Amino acid sequence: MDGIAHELQAKYDHLRAILQEMGSVVIGLSGGVDSTLLVKVAYEVLGDRCLAVIGESEAFPEGEIEEAKRLAEQIGVRIRLVRTHELNNPLFQVNRPDRCYHCKTELFTVLRRVADEEGIEWIADGSHVDDLGDYRPGMRAAQEFGVRSPLLEAGLRKAEIRELAHALGLPIWDKPSFACLSSRFPYGMPITRERLLQVDRAERFLRELGFRQVRVRHHQTIARIEVPPDDFPRLLQHAPAIVDHLKSLGYTYVALDLEGYRSGKMNDTLRTTS
């Protein structure tokens, strides 16, 4: 592939070889750069032996499912839409530190069923090398279900995934990272449809104002906004509109996190109490 370093080319070739060895695969497509790159390469290698499955869930932001569908159609891969029901599981709702394990268990159960229906051997996700550096109980669920992580197996890091996605012409190569909306709540706060919708509407308003990397962390009556520090001045310019809108959603107070956006920040409480 033109324009990438020799080491990255070697990892890309390794990724293709891994997928060729797998023979057939079902991939959960979220619309993020990791799973989209994996679907793109898997479809190039396996054709119709690759199936992209898009999960519809209250825990995903509005608009992400439509974007995932558009990306799959652009790639040309076969698609199946499935409904996941995380909120039906009390162990997910109570929002303990292993919440992600129960969420992923629901997803992988659905993916395994689809794979069996399609006669496809493997299910795969978009985990990569950098995911090993954070608390991710969902990876335990992946091990239990025999889920493959080809990007991780190929030794790819996030920055390299973005570079490959750019080289392959994927329009979301620089899309900010996002996690399901359940990550916006402190552990121990029960997750409900109403709270998920409240957070989703708050974040959507901020994205409509042009903030690409944003989180609204939900602390009962307080909305704690995380954006990169470089965006602080612009956010403060919009402060009156942001406060008005978030109060209309039910928040009493609207706060700006002065540390700025950092992925996995809700896990800080686990580190300080362990």
Rounded CA-CA distance 149/127 in Å is 6
Residues 185 and 242 in one domain: yes
Same domain assignment for residues 154 and 190: no
Q: Is 193 a member of any domain?
A: yes
Which residues make Cβ contacts (< 8 Å) with residue 187, sequence separation at least 6? 95, 96, 97, 99, 266, 269, 270
23 or 179, which is more confident: 23
pLDDT value of residue 58: 85
pLDDT at 273: 47
Q: Do 153 and 93 fall into the same domain?
A: yes
Q: What average pLDDT does the segment 226-235 reach?
A: 98
Q: Directed axis angle between helix 64-75 and helix 33-46, to 10°? A: 30
Final residue before a domain boundary, out of 167, 194, 219? 167
**E-assigned strand segments in 145-238:** 215-219, 222-226
Judgement on whether residues 207 and 82 belong to the same structural domain of the protein = no
Of 100, 135, 167, which marks where a domain is finished? Answer: 167
Q: pTM value? A: 0.91
Supply the CATH number for residue 202's domain: 3.30.70.2210
- 75-79, 99-103, 189-193, 220-224 — which is least confidently predicted? 99-103
Boundaries of domain holding 83:
6-167
- Do 100 and 13 lie in one domain? The reply is yes
Residue 3 in this model has a pLDDT that exceeds 70: no
pLDDT band (50, 70, 90) for residue 264: confident
Mean pLDDT of the chain: 93
Handedness of CA 35, 120, 22, 124 (dihedral sign): positive
Looking at the structure, tell me whether residues 138 and 191 fall in a common domain.
no
Structure-token pair, residue 28? 């959960």
DSSP state letter for 94: T
Average pLDDT for 193-208: 96
Cβ neighbours for 144, distance < 8 A, ≥ 6 positions apart: 105
Q: What local confidence, expressed as pLDDT, does residue 42 receive?
A: 98
In total, how many domains does the chain have? 2
Q: Please say if the pLDDT value at position 137 is more than 90.
A: no
Q: 74: which residues sit within 8 A by CB, 6+ positions away?
A: 171
Distance CA 217, CA 226 (A): 8
Is 176 a domain residue?
no
- Give Cβ neighbours of residue 84 (< 8 Å, ≥ 6 apart): 55, 56, 57, 106, 107, 110
CATH number at 144 reads 3.40.50.620
For the residues 94-120, what does the mean pLDDT come to? 94
The predicted pLDDT at position 2 comes to 66
